[in-house]
Amino acid sequence: MKILVAVKRVIDYNVQVRVKEDNTGVVTDNVKMSTNPPDDNAVEEAVKIKESGKAKEIVAITVGEEKAQETVRKALAVGADRGIHVKVDGVIEPLAVSKILQKIVDKEKPDLVFMGKQAIDDDCNQTGQMLAALLNWPQATFASKIEVKDKTLEVTREVDEGLETIEVNVPAIITCDLRLNEPRYASLPNIMKAKKKTIEQINASDLGIDTKPRIDQIKVEEPPKRKAGIKVANVEELVQKLKNEAKVI
């Protein structure tokens, strides 16, 4: 079994995101970047499946600018066997990413495609579903538990009502939830070994994919700051303010 894992470079989740002064986007210069957290869970699950003897190869892939290659190196240090970097400059939307991944899937012929349930920068939660539609493959989204069987997967999904367990045929697309596992840290020896592993570089233009954005981002603003609260002397005053000023009762 071969597993393809898609990873994305985003602003680190510990960083306080700041809006640019001209409101055209968020500040990314000199800002710490890292792998999208749910993508770390996807890599970890793929490595665990390989360690169990149910997968022979893990290929990590990212789509983005030159620096996005760092996310592939991290996946290689954790346990992926080789990497692919599809170079694209500028903003790239889920539909274009899905079409690029479709081309890579056609080339690599993986049995499973893992990725995070959504990216923490745009929160789109679309790429996995779009890729499944393009490939006409079954999908299991928001996976919190995965059990590999003969030619099928039993997947427990996080849904609004609680948990849902489904069975999907292989090949399939799986998007991973944060509760799926606890991603491991890459050891220093493995980080050094990862530098020697192969990362194939492909230009998106060579794949014949139109990566032009379909959405125009007009303006980015910070949410309004919360007003300071006030103190009241007693319950009667609170009730009066709720009734006459806030008008909620």
Query: What residues contact 127, with CB distance under 8 A and at least 6 apart?
Result: 6, 94, 97, 98, 101, 115
In angstroms, the Cα distances linking 150 to 88, 116, 168, 169 are 37, 24, 11, 9
Q: What is the pLDDT of residues 67-86, one digit of tens each?
A: 999 999 999 999 999 999 99
Among left, alpha and beta (phi > 0; psi -120 to 50; other), residue 23 is left
DSSP label at residue 195: T
Q: What is the pLDDT of residues 99-132, one digit of tens each?
A: 999 999 999 999 999 999 999 988 899 999 999 9
Q: What per-residue confidence (pLDDT) applies to 214? A: 87
Query: What residues contact 20, with CB distance under 8 A and at least 6 apart?
Result: 26, 27, 220
Q: What is the pLDDT of residues 185-229, one digit of tens each?
A: 988 999 998 888 889 999 988 998 888 888 888 898 888 888 888
Neighbours of 170 (CB within 10 A): 16
Q: What per-residue confidence (pLDDT) applies to 113? A: 97
Look up the CATH superfamily of 2-244.
Answer: HUPs (3.40.50.620)
For the chain, give every domain's residue range.
Answer: 2-244
